[in-house]
Amino acid sequence: MDVTERQHIDAVRAHLIRRYQFLDTDRVDHAIDAAHHRFDGCQIRDFVPLLVQRAATRALDDSLTITPSTAYPTVPEAP
């Protein structure tokens, strides 16, 4: 990975850590690293940071599950 790609991946990392500040940074780092390794061996690297950001965002969003029972708090009805 060249210096420019490393800088872009670092910017993606900073952005996603801010976006998912409620998650452990190790979890965000793992999603980024897993997405980045998917492109190992690819010769054309121009869009790798963008693709890493999209894949990591999708993975993090998919890991956040909200069940219907917790999506809306229940309020007891008044008698």
**SS3 assignment for 34-49:** HHHHCCCCCCCCCCHH
Q: Which pLDDT value is given to residue 1?
A: 76
The share of the chain scoring above pLDDT 90, in percent, equals 72
In this prediction, residues 35-57 reach a mean pLDDT of: 94
Q: Which pLDDT value is given to residue 77?
A: 59
The string of pLDDT tens digits covering residues 24-36 is 999 999 999 999 9
Entry pTM? 0.76
In this prediction, residues 25-49 reach a mean pLDDT of: 94
In this prediction, residues 55-71 reach a mean pLDDT of: 77
Cα distances from 40 to residues 18, 30, 36, 48, in angstroms, run: 26, 16, 7, 10
Cα distances from 67 to residues 20, 27, 59, 60, 72, in angstroms, run: 19, 21, 18, 16, 9
Q: Which pLDDT value is given to residue 74?
A: 52
